[in-house]
Amino acid sequence: MEKIKSTTVLAISHNGRMAIGADGQATMGNTVAKSNVRKIRKLADGKIVAGFAGSTADAFTLIERFEEKLAAHSGNMKRAAIELAKDWRTDRYLSKLEAMLITISKEEILIISGTGDVLEPDNGVASIGSGSMYAQSAALALKKHASHLSAEEMVKEALTIAADICIYTNHNFIIETL
């Protein structure tokens, strides 16, 4: 079976609000396997939201582990992310997982990868997946030139631009705000 291709997930911090969104397309090879996958999950009683790109089963495993880390560290997102990244890099089973996560709280955005990275973007924009550079470029331009838009509106517009360009990204968006 072919690997499921990535997606586009984008998070923006703007004017004291956080928004994260993702498209709904899952592909296998050059075929759309599903058009309405929900790649955004609310965690910690809605205080944290996570989005994933990559293999769906792998991402669900990582989100479950992240939830466990959140519980173990009293909801401290950064500490939970660091602990997940350490496990992900060193654990024999987890190190084979092919996915990435973006997590947001009201205070911060983090990108978590299997190489041990926990990155907090300097510019309040984070993106992962096959359409990530299109979405990130659009989001940075929107933050600079369309600051009257809300974080949610910026995420929607930037994802729309990515979906217009990236064949692995569709227009079925799920967007959550904090």
Q: What is the pLDDT of residue 114?
A: 82
pLDDT in tens, 104-158: 999 999 999 888 899 999 999 999 999 999 999 999 999 999 999 999 999 999 9
Confidence of residue 5 (pLDDT cuts 50, 70, 90): low
Which of the residues 7, 8, 27, 169 is marked catalytic? 7
Residue 4 has pLDDT above 60, yes or no: no
What's the whole-number mean pLDDT along residues 11-31? 93
177 is known as an active-site residue: no
What residues have CB less than 8 Å from 147, skipping those under 6 apart? 14, 15
User: In the prediction, which pLDDT does 57 show?
Assistant: 85
Domains of the chain: 8-177 (3.60.20.10)
Mean pLDDT along residues 23-34: 88
pLDDT at 11 over 70: yes
Predicted confidence at residue 50, as pLDDT, reads: 98
Cα 139 to Cα 38, 93, 178: the distances in Å are: 21, 35, 18
Q: Which of 160, 130, 125 is nearest to 143 (CA)?
A: 125
pLDDT at 30: 81
